[in-house]
Structure 1
Amino acid sequence: MTIKNAGRAPVEAEQAAIGRWIDHWEPENTEFWHRTGKRVAWRNLWLSVLAEHLGFNVWTLMSIVVVSLDDVGYAFTVGQTFWLLILPNLVGAALRIPYTFAIPRFGGRAWTTMSASLLLVPCAMLAGAVTAEETPYWFFLLTAAVMGVGGGNFSSSMTNISFFFPEHRKGLALGINAAGGNIGVAVSQLLVPFAIHLGTGINLSYAALIWMPVIVVSSACSWFFMNSLTAAKPDNTSYREALTSKHTPVMALLYVGTFGSFIGFSFAFPSLIGIAFSDFSQFAGIAFLGALIGSVARPIGGWLSDRMGGARITLWNFVGLSLGTVGVLLGVRVESFALFFGSFVLLFVFTGIGNGSTYRMIPLIFRTETSERVARTGEDMEAAQKAAKRQAGAVVGVVGSVGAFGGVVVNLVFKFSLQAGGTVIPALLAILVFFLTCVLVTWWFYVRSTFAIERAPNLSYARI
């Protein structure tokens, strides 16, 4: 579907665009944005949020179900349980790269519909596994691995939405989209324990069944009301150039420090409460507040970055993460649960803000580099900026994948620390060193230099 007249009636343009490819998309054109683009973009955003939220709901299911497997007759060892927890993370992280490239190949509408529909498979497998007698361990492993499709949804969703919004609104839009997904962790941690205790006894199948009707609704809405943008289709060079850019590994490292910490802390926090402060183990039930607070903070990071610059926010955010880690360390050393819990909540706040600010930096980095190159070479600005958007979309997927692997690393660091010395202090010291490294990396690459967005035409409102 082509929208060729930015001045046509907004309602008519919006209706014409529903469920179609859009060939003409100019979010930077103020008239186009207010007459046509704004409504289409926000409709696609909210439907994307729903699909991505469900992805996180399903992705984290096994981490909640394993707690009750012993109660229904499955006596798995600690090692077996560990693999049930780590497989969804590994598969989800690995899928984020191909999911990113699915957007230019299939379009946002078709791929969101397909990726949401795929969530029915692990739900059905889990429902069958926990209701059939003597289900073998290998089937639980397979079910946990298939749950990883929920983790892949994040990258395709973020890549797709990044094309819909103008630069000065992209930070908030990506922050809302990501927060809507991230909050799925907290929602599952809160709702699933209640669901499985409905009725008599423990009904683990309800952990999967409660999501299936919503998944069907989400898939239908994605198909009938979302759009695909021709601007997201790949050219011959932009995606390859993005993957070889020096900024891709740098931003991946920073995202490990933000999203990797968020997802790693979300899985570890309930256990750490019981391990570090056994007398306060009853507070493990409110550990979902960490994931909830971190998710809510994410759009704040995007909003602040739109106004103050993503690099500046990211820099000070890692300073905050370092201070929060020091607080957790002191809480463990002096055996103060209040300091430990409060500092951990602060960590979640900063991981959320950092998630928003780092993702805000990516499109601006490539847009700035492109503008500078055009100024030197005289190539066509419009074509170059379209390529820059494709490059940024590719990097979003790569960075998201590496960040998800970071969540696995965080949990392994805690695991090895506890196995080696029976305390989390070595793990916290290692995390503190990593956060301080991220402070230096952010300053070196994006704050100290003159690599500023003011140098790009018509984008003097912020720094990267």
Structure 2
Amino acid sequence: MSEVQVKGNPNSGLLGATLGFFVGFAAVSLFGPTVVFLQEVVGLSAALAGLLISIPNLSGSLLRIPFAAMVEKDGGRRPFLVLLILSLLGVVGIWLVMIQPAATIADLFPLLLGLGVLGGCGIATFSVGIGQTSYWFPQNRQGTALGIYAGIGNLAPGIFALVLTGLTIPRLGLPGSYLIWSIFLALGILAYLVTGRNAWFFQYRRAGLPDEQARVRAEQDGQQLFPNGKALESLKASAKIPQTWMLVLVYFTTFGGFLALTAWLPKFGIGYMGFDLGVAGMLTAAYSIGASLLRVAGGKLSDIFGGRQTALLSLGAGLVGSLMVALMPRGAGTIAGLLVMALGMGVGNAAVFKLVPQFVPRAVGGAAGWIGGLGAFGGFVIPLGLAAVLESSGYAQGFWIFAGLFVLALMMIIALDGQKTKEE
């Protein structure tokens, strides 16, 4: 087996994972405009609108846990492709529903929810890419590499919200937009097939080398992080550690909140701010792209200043922003508050994963699975809460939900200070 050749390097590995996540994660932005369209043609209630907005995040969050575990054996490439193909099937199915008459679409609403679950599978690629990227990089470069991966991948919802509302929907309508997105997703899957690479250890293993020999060869190539082959045990071990669940709540606030607002803002912009679909899309893009770029910076800041200090500052900013939206009169202050929330959530998202090796050092993979999966579950739960508050109190009052979550997240980070297990 000495003739076995491996391909790729850390930078190309990061490129492939980032491209795959970018393609899959764009599904977050699809359902906000869909809800606006369906409310016009079939008269959806606020509750059903909230359910439809959030449904892709149900599969996009919960599937992160088992698929993250698959990375321990596969390296990431296979689960990445499975999730992207499932997402493509969901988007194509939604396009087929959208080309039906309005009365038929209303009857097919349960099917639309099921297709939304499939479409959301692309969102679950996040945890796969986290593992795939991590195995390419040493610990002292993890914050920066994962910040780039997640930050650039997170740009997708904002960019596609802008494209959908400003370009394709006005010209092609929502059915045509889903068709265009299906084509783009198919091309993205092909691009990942070309660029997506597992770290060297997994390539040697796939070529037939025993694990010990594969590890030696990979170490010679420069790989430093390796799977322990005990994904289920890692999930079980991390579940017994209180710090895991404290970080789940923090990520539920920052990343779950990011998903929720990215999906909710088209409806918020039209229903509360009085914008047309194009301007509401620009608001969504400004928030989503801003938070994503700040996540890249958050990874670097976490490497420099530490995850805890970065998290405290970012969560404090998120709290201020949510209070601005809840308390200030509708207008420029509302938009400013949303952008401050983008700052808090974007930087906070990066800080959380810097904290995982510090506080759960013996079960990093399992903890990342719980945090990434259950944290992202906020993207499903929070829009349902926003819809419920909308029916009883109005749009702005829903942001008290975010304020409460930021307070709880700050309490978790402060409590972590007294439970520190490892300092880098």
Q: 1:118 aligns with which of 63, 69, 86?
A: 86
Partner of residue 297, structure 2? 300
Distance 1:2 1:84 in 2: 53
Map of 1:61 onto structure 2: 30
Report the residue type matching 1:160 in the other structure: Q
Distance 1:199 1:246 in 2: 50
Q: Residue 193 of structure 2 aligns with which residue?
A: 220
d(CA) in 1 for partners of 2:288, 2:254:
13
**Residue 273 of structure 2 is aligned to residue 273 of structure 1:** no
Aligned to 1:169: 141
Q: 1:233 offset after TM fit, Å?
A: 5.0
The answer on 1:147 being equivalent to 2:119 is yes
Contact 1:159–1:394 (CA under 8 A) maintained in structure 2: no
Q: CA RMSD in A?
A: 2.8
Gaps of at least 5 residues in structure 1 are 4-14, 19-38, 368-387, 454-458, 460-464
Aligned to 1:191: 163
Give me the whole-angstrom Cα distance separating, in 1, the residues matched to 2:254 and 2:189.
32
Distance 1:324 1:197, change over 3 A: closer
Give, as a single letter, the amino acid of the residue that structure 2 aligns with 1:208: W
State the secondary structure of the residue aligned to 1:180. Answer: helix
Aligned to 1:25: none
**Aligned counterpart for 2:321 among listed residues 301, 317, 324:** 324
The total of aligned residue pairs comes to 393
- AA aligned to 1:352 is G
Residues in 2 aligned to 1:185 and 1:305: alpha-carbon distance in whole angstroms: 24
| Alignment-mate amino acid for residue 318 of structure 1 | L
CA contact (8 A) 2:358 2:422 kept: no
Q: For residues 75 and 293 of structure 1, do their structure 2 counterparts lie closer, same or farther at Cα, with a shift above 3 Å needed?
A: same
Q: Alignment partner for residue 77 of structure 1, among 44, 65, 77?
A: 44
Q: Does 1:234 align with 2:229?
A: yes
Check if 1:263 corresponds to 2:237.
no
User: Quick one: structure 1 residues 119 and 437, their matched pair in 2 at CA, closer, same or farther if it must change by over 3 Å?
Assistant: closer
- 1:103 equivalent among 63, 71, 86: 71
Hey, what does 1:11 align to over in structure 2?
Answer: none
Residues 421-455 of structure 1: CA deviation (Å, up to 9, x unaligned): 23532x33343233122222211212x566451xx
Alignment counterpart, residue 59 of structure 2, candidates 81, 91, 94: 91
Identity score, percent = 22
Deviations 1:310-359 (A, max 9, x none): 0111012111112222222332xxx2511111111111111000000111
Partner of 1:12: none
- Matched residue SS, 1:211: helix
Secondary structure, in 3 states, of the residue corresponding to 1:232? coil
Moved more, 112-121 or 195-204: 195-204
**1:431 equivalent in alignment to 2:398:** no
CA distance in 1, matches of 2:412, 2:137: 28
- CA shift, 1:105, in A, is 3.0
Cα distance change of structure 1 residues 106 and 152 upon mapping to structure 2, 3 Å threshold: same
Q: Match for 2:42: what amino acid?
A: A
TM-score under structure 2 normalisation? 0.84
User: What is the CA–CA distance in structure 2 between the aligned matches of 1:398 and 1:63, rounded to whole Å?
Assistant: 27
User: SS where residue 164 of structure 1 aligns?
Assistant: coil
CA gap 1:272/1:67 in 2 versus in 1, 3 angstroms = closer
1:203 match: secondary structure: helix
- The alpha-carbon distance between structure 1 residues 337 and 165, as it changes in their structure 2 partners (threshold 3 A), is same
Task: Tell me the equivalent position of 1:289.
Answer: 286
Q: Higher mean Cα deviation, 412-421 or 43-52?
A: 412-421
Residue 16 of structure 1 aligns to which amino acid in structure 2?
Q
Structure 2 segments unaligned to the other structure (5+ residues): 203-225
Q: 2:350 aligns with which of 349, 356, 360?
A: 356
**In 2, Cα distance between equivalents of 1:261 and 1:200:** 29
CA distance in 1, matches of 2:137, 2:174: 48
Distance 1:201 1:401 in 2: 30
User: Secondary structure of the equivalent of 1:399?
Assistant: helix
Residues 69 and 75 of structure 1 are in contact (CA less than 8 Å); yes or no, is this contact kept in structure 2?
Answer: yes
Query: Which residue does 2:131 correspond to in 1?
Result: 159
Structure 1 contact 264–408 (Cα < 8 Å) conserved: yes
Q: Match for residue 8 of structure 1?
A: none
Residues 19-65 of structure 1 deviation map (CA, whole Å, 9 limit, x = unaligned): xxxxxxxxxxxxxxxxxxxx612211110001011111134323333
Instruction: Please report how far the alpha carbon of residue 294 of structure 1 lies from its aligned counterpart in structure 2 after TM superposition.
Output: 0.4
Q: CA deviation at 1:151?
A: 1.8
Question: How much has 1:405 moved relative to structure 2?
Answer: 1.4
Larger radius of gyration: 1
Moved more, 116-125 or 392-401: 116-125
1:267–1:304 CA distance, 2 compared to 1 (3 A): same
**Cα pair distance change 1:80/1:438, threshold 3 Å:** closer
In the TM superposition, 1:312-461 aligns within 5 A as 312-331=309-328, 335-367=329-361, 388=362, 391-422=363-394, 424-425=396-397, 427-446=398-417, 448=418, 451-453=421-423, 459=424
User: Which amino acid is 1:234 matched to?
Assistant: G
Deviation at 1:156, TM superposition (A): 1.3
Q: Equivalents in 2 of 1:423, 1:54: separation in Å?
A: 31
Q: Give 1:69 shift.
A: 4.3
* Partner of residue 23, structure 1: none
Shift of 1:99: 1.2
The structural deviation recorded for 1:228 is 5.9
SS of match in other structure, 2:176:
coil
Q: In the aligned structure 1, how far is the partner of 2:80 from the partner of 2:395?
A: 43
Cα offset, 1:77, TM superposition: 2.5
CA gap of 1:358–1:56, structure 2 versus 1, over 3 A, is: same
Deviation at 1:173, TM superposition (A): 0.8
- The 1:407/1:181 distance shift into structure 2, 3 A limit, reads same
Q: Which segment is superposed worse, 200-209 or 58-67?
A: 200-209
Post-superposition offset of 1:93: 1.5
Distance 1:84 1:207, change over 3 A: farther
Distance of 1:238 and 1:441 partners within structure 2: 22
